[in-house]
């Protein structure tokens, strides 16, 4: 029988997670939890997804707006098999008490501190560590991107030390509160940034330092990465290692993909829902070896790369499949290249 999933929080990540869950053959969304009866709740209902109010006090707002609700979070938890908490960073931590009472395994997102969960998770890096874990945290979009490609290098050649500069979108496309900005903002100004330590919650022994900037754009982050390798490698060897890694895609300026704007256009032409790119995109031409150091540039679609991880985290937590089988099933359902 398909696993019944409660998705608590239905914004940028929650809406994508819910759609992705419903594309799998071994799980279904039992309901999503909303604080407001807005267009997002209305679209969920249109898609046949049941909507629940976050609190009993909020029920009236849905009734007044004539948006059909099936109960509250507490009702939904009684019938669910697992929770995916996609509320804003920090809210998940507070919600944990509610989940504890329900006894349900829970998947958290990267906005929560690592201490919220037993395991910080990127499927292709540490699926086994998360098998049977009650609480799993899918790490942030940036950490997921760094882990996927550095893990590919580490497995093939060993990584002595990595350094990354992150150029981050200032806000998501619908986030009018945080954007637009007209500035390049060192974020944070105290270096190194928190992204390196966050990578170490998954790749524990990989020395890495990071710096990060916010820039006025809404689609994708860019990472400029260099890594000192333990074993000798040529540019071709490194390209082959990236080519072999799942959820990593080599793109090329020679094919006309020279910017995040082209990646957006490409994703739309692929008919990807919401122009989502689940894959970390590495520019083939950027991969360069200087002595024992490799350089490369990658693009991360912040709204999309963590979505497959959430699906695999459910399977790991509930011991539904082994790593390879789960990653393959998720990739097939989401049409990941
Ligand atoms: P979001 O603000 O787009 O969506 C969160 C939703 O939860 C909103 O609709 C909000 O109204 C709702 N909400 C707030 N309090 C709630 C409550 N108590 N109960 C139920 N719903 C509640 O946020 P998001 O971007 O989807 O981020 C969710 C999580 O995913 C965060 O931990 C974030 O750090 C992480 N994440 C975000 C991105 C990204 O680029 N947006 C990428 C990777 C990970």
Evaluate: CB of 303 within 6 angstroms of ligand 1.
Answer: yes
- Which residue among 125, 138, 141, 147 is the active-site one? 141
Nearest in space to 225 (alpha carbons), one of 138, 293, 124, 144: 293
Residue of the CA atom closest to atom 44 of ligand 1: 140
Does the pLDDT of residue 179 top 90, yes or no?
no
Q: Rounded mean pLDDT of the chain?
A: 98
- Listed as own residue / partner, the contacts of 179-187 with beta carbons closer than 8 Å and 24 or more positions apart are 179/216, 179/218, 180/216, 181/214, 181/216, 182/216, 183/214, 183/216, 184/213, 184/214, 184/215, 185/213, 185/214, 185/215, 186/211, 186/212, 186/213, 187/212, 187/213, 187/214
Name the token pair of 145.
């991107």
**What pLDDT score was predicted for residue 337?**
87
**What pLDDT score was predicted for residue 92?**
98
pTM: 0.98
Does the pLDDT of residue 321 top 90, yes or no?
yes
Same domain, 119 and 169: no
**Strand partners of residue 33:** 8, 52
Q: Is 141 a catalytic residue?
A: yes
**Strand partners of residue 136:** 107, 119
**What pLDDT score was predicted for residue 5?**
98
Half-sphere exposure for 333 (CA within 13 Å, toward CB)? 21
**What pLDDT score was predicted for residue 180?**
84
Residue of the CA atom closest to atom 39 of ligand 1: 303
pLDDT tens for each residue of 103-137? 999 999 999 999 999 999 999 999 999 999 999 99
Evaluate: CB of 87 within 6 angstroms of ligand 1.
Answer: yes
Same domain, 287 and 322: no
Same domain, 166 and 89: no
Residue of the CA atom closest to atom 21 of ligand 1: 9
Same domain, 159 and 129: no
What residues have CB less than 8 Å from 291, skipping those under 6 apart?
none
Quickly state the pLDDT bin for 152 (edges 50, 70, 90): very high
Same domain, 117 and 165: no
pLDDT tens for each residue of 50-105? 999 999 999 999 999 999 999 999 999 999 999 999 999 999 999 999 999 999 99
Task: Give CA–CA dist 308/150, Å, rounded.
Answer: 18
Task: Give CA–CA dist 203/145, Å, rounded.
Answer: 12
Handedness of CA 257, 263, 264, 268 (dihedral sign): positive
What residues have CB less than 8 Å from 54, skipping those under 6 apart?
8, 33, 34, 35, 72, 73
Same domain, 96 and 38: yes
Evaluate: CB of 109 within 6 angstroms of ligand 1.
Answer: yes
Same domain, 209 and 320: no
pLDDT tens for each residue of 231-266? 999 999 999 999 999 999 999 999 999 999 999 999
Quickly state the pLDDT bin for 148 (edges 50, 70, 90): very high
**Strand partners of residue 289:** 294
Task: Give CA–CA dist 45/107, Å, rounded.
Answer: 23
**What pLDDT score was predicted for residue 174?**
94
Q: Which atom of ligand 1 is nearest to the CA of 90?
A: 32
**What pLDDT score was predicted for residue 166?**
98
Task: Give CA–CA dist 294/115, Å, rounded.
Answer: 33
Structural domain tally of the chain?
A: 2
Direct distance between the N- and C-terminal alpha carbons of the chain, in angstroms, rounded to an integer: 28
**What pLDDT score was predicted for residue 21?**
98
Same domain, 53 and 189: no
Please give the residue range of the domain that contains residue 219.
141-300
Q: Which of 6, 39, 88, 142 to mutate to test the pocket of ligand 1 (most atoms within 8 A of CB)?
A: 88
**What pLDDT score was predicted for residue 134?**
98
Evaluate: CB of 188 within 6 angstroms of ligand 1.
Answer: no
Same domain, 17 and 40: yes
Ligand 1 centroid – CA 304 distance (Å): 13
Ligand 1 centroid – CA 87 distance (Å): 4
């Amino acid at each position: 029988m398909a696993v019944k999933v409660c998705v608590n929080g239905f914004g940028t990540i929650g809406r994508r997670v819910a759609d992705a869950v419903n594309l799998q053959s071994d799980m279904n969304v039992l309901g999503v939890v909303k604080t407001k009866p807005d267009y997002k709740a209305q679209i969920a209902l249109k898609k046949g997804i049941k909507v629940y109010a976050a609190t009993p006090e909020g029920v009236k707002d849905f009734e007044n707006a004539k948006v059909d609700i099936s109960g509250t979070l507490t009702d939904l938890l009684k019938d669910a098999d697992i929770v995916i908490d996609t509320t804003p960073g920090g809210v998940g931590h507070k919600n944990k008490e509610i989940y504890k009472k329900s006894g349900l395994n829970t998947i958290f997102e990267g906005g929560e501190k690592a201490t919220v969960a037993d395991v910080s998770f990127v499927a292709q890096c540490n699926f086994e560590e998360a098998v049977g874990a009650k609480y799993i945290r899918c790490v942030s979009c940036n950490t997921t991107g760094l882990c996927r490609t550095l893990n590919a290098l580490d497995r093939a050649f060993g990584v002595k030390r990595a350094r990354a500069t992150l150029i981050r979108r200032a806000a998501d496309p619908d986030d009018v509160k945080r954007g637009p900005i007209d500035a390049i903002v060192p974020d944070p100004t105290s270096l190194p940034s928190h992204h390196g330590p966050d990578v170490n919650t998954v790749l524990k022994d990989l020395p890495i330092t990071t710096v990060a900037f916010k820039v006025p754009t809404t689609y994708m982050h860019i990472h400029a990465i260099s890594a000192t390798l333990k074993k000798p490698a040529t540019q071709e060897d490194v390209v082959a290692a990236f080519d072999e890694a799942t959820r990593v895609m080599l793109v090329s300026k020679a094919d006309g993909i020279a910017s995040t704007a082209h990646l957006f256009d490409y994703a739309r032409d692929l008919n990807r829902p919401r122009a989502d790119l689940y894959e970390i995109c590495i520019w083939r031409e950027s991969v360069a070896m200087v002595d024992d150091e490799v350089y490369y540039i990658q693009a991360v679609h912040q709204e999309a790369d963590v979505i497959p991880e959430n699906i695999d985290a459910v399977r790991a937590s509930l011991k539904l499949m082994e790593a390879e089988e789960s990653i393959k099933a998720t990739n097939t359902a989401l049409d990941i290249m």
